[in-house]
Amino acid sequence: MTLRKDNRRGNPSLWVLAAARWHTSATIQTPVIQWSIAVSLGLALGFFLLIALAWNSRWAPFLALAALFPFIAIISGDLRKFLLMVLLLELPMNLDLALLYDVHAVELNATGGLSYSITGFCLVCLYALWFIDLLIQKSTSPRLLPSSLPLLIYLAAVVLSMAVAQDRWLAAFEIFLLGQSFLLFIYIIKTVQNRQDLLFVVTLLLAGLAYESVVMIGLRILGHSVRFAHIMAGIDASGRVYGTIGSPNTAASYLTLLLAPTLSVLLTTLKAPYKWLAGLAFGLGTAALLLTFSRGGWLAFIISIALLCLFAFFRGWLSPGVPLVIAASSMVLVLLLWKPITDRLFGDDLGAAQSRSIMWKQALQVIEANPVLGVGSNNYAIWYEQRYSSTTIQPVHFLIGTKTFWYEQHFKAEIDGRILRTVHNKFLLVWAETGIIGLVTFLGFLFAVIRWGWQGWQLQDRLLSPLALGFTVAIVGQMVHMCFDLFHSRPQIQLLWVVAALVIAIRNMDASDG
């Protein structure tokens, strides 16, 4: 049968129907076809991977994914789910390529390039499939604008700050990252429309938490970092573990943002496999969090878990023995690491706490000079350096109180105690870079998500309500951690916005819809 073009209004054109046929073929349900294609491709893909790995090890993960992409997609039988699975599991792996990389900006803790990752590649593919569905009128989308409006206003404030940025390339680097994260935020809201979708995403987040925690615990046992191709799993010289996420504080924020939702799974009426996975991920994640020795992360964990247990207890969904079990298990871990933990809390921290105090005071100076529009997105450190640095900026020692400390090369400071690095406080950083407009819109987004999470908790549903509560208290804990951290790396931003999108998706669901 030949396909003839129909010019009547509303009928799809030839190229749209062809795309629809290709899209339909992406899901192959016949096992014989699946495995015959897989076997025929297997040998060729094996040779390709060997050549690719020998050619350039830095690109190995990306080349491997490109080679295995059609193979796994055919076996999985669902291209969308496969892409979403890769996207969510890659978040903690931090597999980025940075174009226009600026080493000096990175030394000052600014975003130093146009970051592109496997997550970005998957997003492009997912949006292409969504666009095709819209063209053939195959899908309906939820109302995205009301839910995304607070975050969209914040992004507008960030883009507006580019007008006053001293280095617009640096501003573009952060805007590019935030733009990718916003697309991920929108796609999660669009995709998670029922309980099955929600469980799929939550299960992947639990799996990611479990494997990243295993990596971090394994590094502590090995006692040294491990590198494979472009993947770096690290532990620093002081024994602080950060896995594949980039730094101990960044790793702690990733873990704390998932531990409360993981515990909330145990409050649901889900079947045993989900609860076993949640229990395993929670235990491993708690141990990994201790190994980061991040005091901000520990505080965020305590606050989020305490709030979760408090609300669940008063609703009658939590046995009094559960908090006791959590506390006892945590105490066992603390006793196993008693000396390094007490040293971190009460010992000499090489001036880390004092340096934060200095950076906060410096940030207030920047805010006082530029209160409305700020100094431009991702421009804080460059702006401060050009106004206050001398011609002899070197990795030197400087005085804090009565003690002298030596800093690594990226801890650049002047002899008078100024620290030429981006301030370790997300709220002060947003205010300094995007002005009062950016700060208000950023806080507005966070509080809007907390409000929506509270609405999800009020559903009185044994699946949706605990998850809404877990995600919400995790965001509250994360806001506490933001007071002590930059919070501008890709895993932190994208995971936070994924969690926010899940809160919105839960609120949009009908509690009576089984």
Q: How far is CA 341 from the centre of its chain?
A: 26
Q: What average pLDDT does range 96-113 have in this prediction?
A: 84
Percentage helix, strand, coil, to 5, in the chain? 70, 5, 25
Give every CB contact of residue 38 below 8 A, 6+ residues apart in sequence: 71, 74, 75
pLDDT tier, 402 (very low <50, low <70, confident <90, very high otherwise): very low
pLDDT digits (tens, 9 = 90+) for 231-263: 788 898 888 999 999 889 999 999 999 999 999
The tokens 């040779």 sit on which residue?
47
Cα 474 from Cα 265, distance rounded (Å): 13
pLDDT of residue 416: 46
Show the tokens assigned to 232.
């770096």
pLDDT of residue 514: 47
Report the percentage of the chain scoring pLDDT > 70: 75
Q: Look up residue 5 and give its amino acid.
A: K
Q: What average pLDDT does range 397-414 have in this prediction?
A: 36
pLDDT digits (tens, 9 = 90+) for 175-217: 999 999 999 999 999 999 899 999 999 999 999 999 999 999 9
pLDDT of residue 281: 95
**pLDDT at 144 > cutoff 90:** no
Q: What average pLDDT does range 371-375 have in this prediction?
A: 92
Name beta bridge partners: 117.
Answer: 96
pLDDT of residue 395: 36
What is the 3 state secondary structure string of 488-504? CCHHHHHHHHHHHHHHH
Q: For residue 126, how many C-alpha atoms fall within 13 Å in the half-sphere facing its CB?
A: 24
pTM metric for this prediction: 0.82
Mean pLDDT of the chain: 80
Q: Report yes or no: 172 and 162 within 8 Å, Cβ to Cβ.
A: yes
Show the tokens assigned to 227.
């590198």
Q: DSSP per residue over 257-302, as a string?
A: HHHHHHHHHTTS---HHHHHHHHHHHHHHHHHHHHHT-HHHHHHHH
Q: What average pLDDT does range 436-456 have in this prediction?
A: 96
**pLDDT at 128 > cutoff 80:** yes
**pLDDT at 14 > cutoff 90:** no
The tokens 């294609």 sit on which residue?
37
Q: Look up residue 192 and give its amino acid.
A: V
Cα 23 from Cα 9, distance rounded (Å): 23
Lowest-confidence region among 31-40, 80-89, 154-163, 415-424: 31-40
List the Cα angle 118/124/130 in 5-degree steps. Answer: 135
pLDDT tier, 71 (very low <50, low <70, confident <90, very high otherwise): low
**pLDDT at 12 > cutoff 50:** no
Q: What average pLDDT does range 69-82 have in this prediction?
A: 67
Four-residue CA torsion sign, 137, 140, 141, 143: positive
Q: What average pLDDT does range 479-501 have in this prediction?
A: 94
**pLDDT at 398 > cutoff 50:** no
pLDDT digits (tens, 9 = 90+) for 269-285: 999 999 999 999 999 99
More confident residue, 37 or 391: 37
pLDDT of residue 422: 85
pLDDT of residue 50: 55
Cα 313 from Cα 489, distance rounded (Å): 35
pLDDT of residue 345: 74
Q: Look up residue 418 and give its amino acid.
A: R
